[in-house]
Amino acid sequence: MKSVLDSRQVAEFERLGFLPVHDLLDPVEDLAPITAEYSTVLDRLARDLFERDEIASLYSDLGFSERFMTIVAETGSAHSQYFDLSLPQSGISASTPIWNGPAVFSLLTNPTLLDAIESLIGDEIYSNPVQHVRIKPPEALVSRELAADQHALNATSWHQDNGVITPDADDSEILTVWIPLSRASVQHGCLQVIPGSHRSDVMLHCPGGPAGLEIPEKVLSRDGAIAVPLEPGDALFLHRRTAHASLPNTSDEIRWSLDLRYNPIGQSTGRAAFPGFVARSRRDPRRALSDPTAWARSWEETRDRLAVDRPDAFNRWDGDAPACA
Protein backbone atom coordinates (compact mmCIF):
# COMPACT_ATOMS: atom_id res chain seq x y z
CA MET A 1 0.00 0.00 0.00
CA LYS A 2 1.34 3.43 -0.93
CA SER A 3 0.72 6.14 1.61
CA VAL A 4 2.86 9.00 0.23
CA LEU A 5 3.08 10.09 -3.38
CA ASP A 6 6.55 10.08 -4.87
CA SER A 7 8.12 12.98 -6.80
CA ARG A 8 7.19 11.43 -10.15
CA GLN A 9 3.53 11.26 -9.18
CA VAL A 10 3.52 14.81 -7.88
CA ALA A 11 5.11 16.02 -11.12
CA GLU A 12 2.53 14.11 -13.16
CA PHE A 13 -0.29 15.71 -11.21
CA GLU A 14 1.18 19.18 -11.74
CA ARG A 15 1.68 18.53 -15.47
CA LEU A 16 -1.64 16.84 -16.31
CA GLY A 17 -3.99 18.15 -13.61
CA PHE A 18 -5.03 14.68 -12.48
CA LEU A 19 -3.47 11.58 -10.97
CA PRO A 20 -4.95 8.09 -10.61
CA VAL A 21 -3.38 6.15 -7.74
CA HIS A 22 -4.05 2.44 -7.67
CA ASP A 23 -4.35 0.40 -4.46
CA LEU A 24 -4.11 3.46 -2.24
CA LEU A 25 -6.80 2.19 0.13
CA ASP A 26 -7.69 -1.26 1.42
CA PRO A 27 -11.11 -2.33 0.09
CA VAL A 28 -11.76 -4.44 3.19
CA GLU A 29 -10.38 -2.29 6.00
CA ASP A 30 -11.05 1.17 4.57
CA LEU A 31 -14.10 0.81 2.30
CA ALA A 32 -16.15 -2.14 3.57
CA PRO A 33 -17.25 -0.26 6.73
CA ILE A 34 -18.71 2.47 4.49
CA THR A 35 -20.69 0.04 2.33
CA ALA A 36 -21.97 -1.65 5.51
CA GLU A 37 -22.97 1.72 6.96
CA TYR A 38 -24.83 2.66 3.80
CA SER A 39 -26.76 -0.59 3.92
CA THR A 40 -28.43 0.76 7.06
CA VAL A 41 -29.22 4.01 5.22
CA LEU A 42 -30.82 2.08 2.36
CA ASP A 43 -32.83 0.07 4.88
CA ARG A 44 -34.11 3.30 6.45
CA LEU A 45 -35.07 4.62 3.00
CA ALA A 46 -36.90 1.39 2.14
CA ARG A 47 -38.88 1.51 5.39
CA ASP A 48 -39.84 5.16 4.84
CA LEU A 49 -40.99 4.45 1.28
CA PHE A 50 -42.87 1.31 2.31
CA GLU A 51 -44.70 3.18 5.08
CA ARG A 52 -45.78 5.76 2.49
CA ASP A 53 -46.95 2.99 0.12
CA GLU A 54 -44.41 4.08 -2.49
CA ILE A 55 -42.87 0.60 -2.81
CA ALA A 56 -44.55 -2.79 -2.62
CA SER A 57 -41.94 -4.47 -0.44
CA LEU A 58 -38.94 -3.74 1.76
CA TYR A 59 -36.82 -5.94 -0.56
CA SER A 60 -34.72 -6.83 2.47
CA ASP A 61 -33.71 -10.16 0.92
CA LEU A 62 -31.70 -8.34 -1.78
CA GLY A 63 -28.11 -7.15 -1.64
CA PHE A 64 -27.36 -3.43 -1.66
CA SER A 65 -26.98 -2.99 -5.42
CA GLU A 66 -30.03 -5.08 -6.36
CA ARG A 67 -32.15 -3.50 -3.62
CA PHE A 68 -31.17 0.02 -4.64
CA MET A 69 -31.87 -0.62 -8.33
CA THR A 70 -35.23 -2.23 -7.53
CA ILE A 71 -36.29 0.83 -5.51
CA VAL A 72 -35.06 3.21 -8.24
CA ALA A 73 -37.00 1.29 -10.90
CA GLU A 74 -40.18 1.24 -8.80
CA THR A 75 -40.10 4.87 -7.67
CA GLY A 76 -38.33 6.52 -10.62
CA SER A 77 -35.94 8.26 -8.23
CA ALA A 78 -32.42 7.64 -6.92
CA HIS A 79 -33.34 9.39 -3.63
CA SER A 80 -29.86 10.89 -3.74
CA GLN A 81 -30.22 13.25 -0.80
CA TYR A 82 -30.88 10.32 1.52
CA PHE A 83 -27.31 9.17 1.01
CA ASP A 84 -25.45 12.44 0.50
CA LEU A 85 -22.79 13.87 2.82
CA SER A 86 -23.78 17.46 2.05
CA LEU A 87 -26.95 19.52 1.95
CA PRO A 88 -28.61 20.57 -1.31
CA GLN A 89 -28.24 24.08 -2.69
CA SER A 90 -31.93 24.91 -2.30
CA GLY A 91 -35.08 23.75 -0.58
CA ILE A 92 -33.37 22.96 2.73
CA SER A 93 -35.77 22.15 5.57
CA ALA A 94 -35.32 20.80 9.07
CA SER A 95 -36.14 17.33 7.73
CA THR A 96 -33.85 17.33 4.67
CA PRO A 97 -32.06 13.96 4.70
CA ILE A 98 -28.27 13.87 5.03
CA TRP A 99 -25.84 11.13 6.05
CA ASN A 100 -22.72 11.88 8.09
CA GLY A 101 -21.92 8.52 9.62
CA PRO A 102 -18.79 7.46 11.54
CA ALA A 103 -17.52 5.16 8.76
CA VAL A 104 -17.58 8.05 6.29
CA PHE A 105 -15.80 10.29 8.80
CA SER A 106 -13.17 7.59 9.26
CA LEU A 107 -12.41 7.69 5.54
CA LEU A 108 -12.33 11.50 5.49
CA THR A 109 -9.62 11.37 8.14
CA ASN A 110 -7.90 8.18 6.92
CA PRO A 111 -4.14 8.59 7.55
CA THR A 112 -3.15 6.95 4.26
CA LEU A 113 -5.45 9.23 2.32
CA LEU A 114 -4.25 12.31 4.21
CA ASP A 115 -0.62 11.33 3.57
CA ALA A 116 -1.30 11.37 -0.18
CA ILE A 117 -3.17 14.67 0.08
CA GLU A 118 -0.31 16.15 2.08
CA SER A 119 2.02 15.39 -0.84
CA LEU A 120 -0.08 17.68 -3.04
CA ILE A 121 -1.34 20.55 -0.86
CA GLY A 122 0.81 20.46 2.28
CA ASP A 123 0.36 19.30 5.85
CA GLU A 124 -2.26 21.80 7.06
CA ILE A 125 -5.33 20.05 5.64
CA TYR A 126 -8.95 21.20 5.85
CA SER A 127 -11.84 18.92 4.94
CA ASN A 128 -13.82 21.00 2.44
CA PRO A 129 -17.62 20.68 2.85
CA VAL A 130 -18.26 20.21 -0.90
CA GLN A 131 -18.46 16.43 -0.60
CA HIS A 132 -20.86 13.92 -2.07
CA VAL A 133 -21.67 10.28 -2.44
CA ARG A 134 -22.77 9.29 -5.94
CA ILE A 135 -24.80 6.13 -6.49
CA LYS A 136 -25.47 5.96 -10.22
CA PRO A 137 -27.94 3.31 -11.36
CA PRO A 138 -27.77 2.00 -14.92
CA GLU A 139 -29.22 4.67 -17.19
CA ALA A 140 -31.39 2.06 -18.91
CA LEU A 141 -33.19 1.52 -15.61
CA VAL A 142 -35.30 4.68 -15.82
CA SER A 143 -36.93 6.66 -18.59
CA ARG A 144 -35.07 9.47 -20.32
CA GLU A 145 -37.64 11.96 -19.00
CA LEU A 146 -37.07 10.93 -15.39
CA ALA A 147 -33.31 10.89 -15.85
CA ALA A 148 -33.37 14.41 -17.30
CA ASP A 149 -35.33 15.58 -14.27
CA GLN A 150 -32.96 14.04 -11.73
CA HIS A 151 -29.28 14.88 -12.02
CA ALA A 152 -28.12 11.88 -10.02
CA LEU A 153 -29.46 9.49 -12.65
CA ASN A 154 -27.38 10.92 -15.49
CA ALA A 155 -23.79 11.09 -16.57
CA THR A 156 -22.23 14.23 -15.07
CA SER A 157 -21.68 17.18 -17.42
CA TRP A 158 -18.30 18.72 -18.27
CA HIS A 159 -17.24 21.10 -15.52
CA GLN A 160 -14.37 22.30 -13.34
CA ASP A 161 -14.82 21.86 -9.61
CA ASN A 162 -13.86 25.50 -9.00
CA GLY A 163 -16.47 26.50 -11.56
CA VAL A 164 -19.34 25.15 -9.47
CA ILE A 165 -18.47 26.94 -6.22
CA THR A 166 -18.32 30.63 -5.28
CA PRO A 167 -15.55 32.83 -6.74
CA ASP A 168 -14.01 33.63 -3.36
CA ALA A 169 -12.34 30.20 -3.64
CA ASP A 170 -10.76 30.78 -7.06
CA ASP A 171 -7.29 30.96 -5.53
CA SER A 172 -7.84 28.22 -2.95
CA GLU A 173 -5.80 25.08 -3.57
CA ILE A 174 -8.83 22.81 -3.48
CA LEU A 175 -8.03 19.18 -4.25
CA THR A 176 -10.72 16.71 -5.33
CA VAL A 177 -10.35 13.05 -4.38
CA TRP A 178 -12.67 10.71 -6.28
CA ILE A 179 -12.92 7.28 -4.66
CA PRO A 180 -14.92 4.39 -6.19
CA LEU A 181 -16.76 2.11 -3.75
CA SER A 182 -17.72 -0.21 -6.60
CA ARG A 183 -16.14 -0.95 -9.96
CA ALA A 184 -15.85 2.17 -12.12
CA SER A 185 -15.12 0.84 -15.59
CA VAL A 186 -15.93 2.68 -18.82
CA GLN A 187 -19.20 0.75 -18.97
CA HIS A 188 -20.02 1.67 -15.38
CA GLY A 189 -19.58 5.39 -16.12
CA CYS A 190 -16.11 6.25 -14.84
CA LEU A 191 -14.79 9.79 -14.97
CA GLN A 192 -13.19 11.26 -18.06
CA VAL A 193 -10.75 14.16 -17.97
CA ILE A 194 -9.02 16.56 -20.37
CA PRO A 195 -5.29 16.49 -19.55
CA GLY A 196 -3.75 19.93 -19.11
CA SER A 197 -7.08 21.74 -18.88
CA HIS A 198 -6.14 22.86 -15.35
CA ARG A 199 -3.78 25.40 -16.89
CA SER A 200 -6.76 27.51 -17.99
CA ASP A 201 -8.64 29.95 -15.81
CA VAL A 202 -12.09 29.12 -14.49
CA MET A 203 -14.18 28.58 -17.64
CA LEU A 204 -17.70 29.76 -18.31
CA HIS A 205 -20.34 27.37 -16.98
CA CYS A 206 -23.89 27.57 -18.31
CA PRO A 207 -27.03 26.42 -16.51
CA GLY A 208 -28.20 23.09 -17.86
CA GLY A 209 -26.88 19.63 -18.44
CA PRO A 210 -27.28 16.67 -16.07
CA ALA A 211 -25.16 18.30 -13.36
CA GLY A 212 -27.06 21.61 -13.43
CA LEU A 213 -24.03 23.48 -14.80
CA GLU A 214 -21.99 22.64 -17.88
CA ILE A 215 -19.06 24.12 -19.81
CA PRO A 216 -20.44 24.59 -23.36
CA GLU A 217 -18.59 23.08 -26.29
CA LYS A 218 -18.04 26.61 -27.64
CA VAL A 219 -15.78 27.15 -24.64
CA LEU A 220 -14.28 23.69 -24.14
CA SER A 221 -13.55 21.19 -26.89
CA ARG A 222 -14.04 17.59 -25.79
CA ASP A 223 -11.15 16.51 -28.03
CA GLY A 224 -8.41 14.78 -26.10
CA ALA A 225 -10.68 13.57 -23.30
CA ILE A 226 -9.56 10.29 -21.76
CA ALA A 227 -11.44 7.87 -19.53
CA VAL A 228 -9.99 6.92 -16.14
CA PRO A 229 -11.37 3.51 -15.10
CA LEU A 230 -10.78 2.60 -11.46
CA GLU A 231 -11.40 -0.24 -9.02
CA PRO A 232 -12.30 -0.07 -5.31
CA GLY A 233 -9.14 0.87 -3.42
CA ASP A 234 -8.01 3.26 -6.16
CA ALA A 235 -8.32 7.05 -5.97
CA LEU A 236 -8.31 9.82 -8.56
CA PHE A 237 -6.82 13.18 -7.55
CA LEU A 238 -8.06 16.19 -9.53
CA HIS A 239 -6.81 19.76 -9.71
CA ARG A 240 -9.56 22.28 -9.00
CA ARG A 241 -9.58 23.54 -12.61
CA THR A 242 -9.27 20.21 -14.43
CA ALA A 243 -12.23 19.79 -16.78
CA HIS A 244 -13.93 16.46 -16.22
CA ALA A 245 -17.22 14.64 -16.66
CA SER A 246 -18.53 11.14 -16.20
CA LEU A 247 -19.50 8.64 -18.85
CA PRO A 248 -23.00 7.14 -18.80
CA ASN A 249 -23.52 3.97 -16.79
CA THR A 250 -24.35 1.46 -19.53
CA SER A 251 -23.71 -1.57 -17.31
CA ASP A 252 -26.34 -3.52 -15.38
CA GLU A 253 -24.82 -2.54 -12.01
CA ILE A 254 -24.62 0.61 -9.90
CA ARG A 255 -21.58 2.90 -9.98
CA TRP A 256 -20.94 4.03 -6.43
CA SER A 257 -18.32 6.62 -5.50
CA LEU A 258 -17.28 9.29 -3.01
CA ASP A 259 -16.41 12.78 -4.22
CA LEU A 260 -14.29 14.43 -1.52
CA ARG A 261 -12.43 17.75 -1.38
CA TYR A 262 -9.67 19.22 0.73
CA ASN A 263 -7.83 22.54 0.87
CA PRO A 264 -5.12 24.14 3.00
CA ILE A 265 -6.35 25.43 6.36
CA GLY A 266 -7.41 29.06 6.21
CA GLN A 267 -8.33 29.14 2.51
CA SER A 268 -11.88 29.70 1.32
CA THR A 269 -13.92 26.54 0.71
CA GLY A 270 -16.32 28.05 -1.85
CA ARG A 271 -19.23 27.00 0.37
CA ALA A 272 -19.07 29.40 3.29
CA ALA A 273 -22.52 28.37 4.50
CA PHE A 274 -21.47 24.74 4.98
CA PRO A 275 -19.24 23.32 7.75
CA GLY A 276 -15.77 21.88 7.14
CA PHE A 277 -13.17 20.82 9.68
CA VAL A 278 -9.43 20.51 10.24
CA ALA A 279 -8.48 17.01 9.11
CA ARG A 280 -4.73 17.30 9.83
CA SER A 281 -2.40 19.91 11.25
CA ARG A 282 1.28 19.08 11.68
CA ARG A 283 1.73 22.53 13.22
CA ASP A 284 -0.89 21.96 15.91
CA PRO A 285 -2.26 18.37 15.90
CA ARG A 286 -4.81 19.27 18.57
CA ARG A 287 -6.76 21.27 15.98
CA ALA A 288 -7.66 18.15 13.99
CA LEU A 289 -11.20 16.89 14.55
CA SER A 290 -11.35 13.30 15.76
CA ASP A 291 -14.97 13.07 16.87
CA PRO A 292 -17.40 11.82 14.17
CA THR A 293 -20.35 12.85 16.32
CA ALA A 294 -19.16 16.46 16.32
CA TRP A 295 -18.88 16.37 12.51
CA ALA A 296 -22.43 15.03 12.16
CA ARG A 297 -23.73 17.59 14.65
CA SER A 298 -22.14 20.45 12.68
CA TRP A 299 -24.20 19.45 9.63
CA GLU A 300 -27.39 19.05 11.65
CA GLU A 301 -26.94 22.51 13.14
CA THR A 302 -26.24 23.94 9.68
CA ARG A 303 -29.39 22.33 8.30
CA ASP A 304 -31.48 23.80 11.10
CA ARG A 305 -29.99 27.25 10.49
CA LEU A 306 -30.38 27.20 6.71
CA ALA A 307 -33.95 25.96 6.99
CA VAL A 308 -34.71 29.38 8.49
CA ASP A 309 -32.10 31.66 6.90
CA ARG A 310 -31.79 31.15 3.16
CA PRO A 311 -28.08 30.97 2.18
CA ASP A 312 -26.47 33.27 -0.34
CA ALA A 313 -25.99 32.14 -3.93
CA PHE A 314 -23.90 29.01 -4.36
CA ASN A 315 -22.45 29.84 -7.77
CA ARG A 316 -21.64 32.80 -10.03
CA TRP A 317 -23.40 31.85 -13.28
CA ASP A 318 -26.69 33.27 -14.56
CA GLY A 319 -26.72 31.95 -18.14
CA ASP A 320 -26.67 35.41 -19.76
CA ALA A 321 -23.33 34.93 -21.54
CA PRO A 322 -23.59 34.64 -25.37
CA ALA A 323 -21.92 31.21 -25.26
CA CYS A 324 -24.85 29.95 -23.18
CA ALA A 325 -27.38 30.81 -25.88
E strands of the chain, at which residues? 18-21, 124-136, 175-180, 191-193, 206-207, 213-214, 226-228, 235-239, 244-246, 255-264, 277-281
Instruction: Report if residue 130 sits inside a domain.
Output: yes
Instruction: Report if residue 322 sits inside a domain.
Output: no
Report residue 304 CA to chain centroid gap.
23
Kindly tell me the sign of the dihedral angle through the C-alpha atoms of 247, 322, 173, 153.
negative
Give the tens place of pLDDT for each residue, 203-260. Answer: 999 987 766 899 999 999 999 999 999 999 999 999 999 999 999 999 999 999 999 9
List the domain range (segments joined by +) for residue 66: 7-309
Instruction: Report if residue 314 sits inside a domain.
Output: no
Distances (CA, A) of 20 to 55, 60, 81, 153, 193: 39, 36, 28, 25, 11
Give the tens place of pLDDT for each residue, 175-200. Answer: 999 999 999 999 999 999 999 999 99
Instruction: Report if residue 293 sits inside a domain.
Output: yes
Instruction: Report if residue 188 sits inside a domain.
Output: yes
HSE of 100, CA atoms in CB hemisphere, 13 A: 22
Predicted local confidence at residue 222, as pLDDT: 95
Sheet holding 277-281, edge to edge: 18-21, 235-239, 175-180, 255-264, 124-136, 277-281
Q: How many CB atoms are located within 10 Å of the residue 225 CB?
A: 17
What is the C-alpha to C-alpha distance for residues 168 and 163, in angstroms, rounded to an integer? 11
CATH number at residue 119: 2.60.120.620
Give the tens place of pLDDT for each residue, 77-125. Answer: 889 999 999 999 888 999 999 999 999 999 999 999 999 999 999 999 9
Give the tens place of pLDDT for each residue, 254-302. Answer: 999 999 999 999 999 999 999 999 999 999 999 999 999 999 999 999 9
Instruction: Report if residue 298 sits inside a domain.
Output: yes
Instruction: Report if residue 35 sits inside a domain.
Output: yes
Q: How many domains does the chain have?
A: 1
Instruction: Report if residue 155 sits inside a domain.
Output: yes
**pTM reported for the whole predicted model:** 0.95
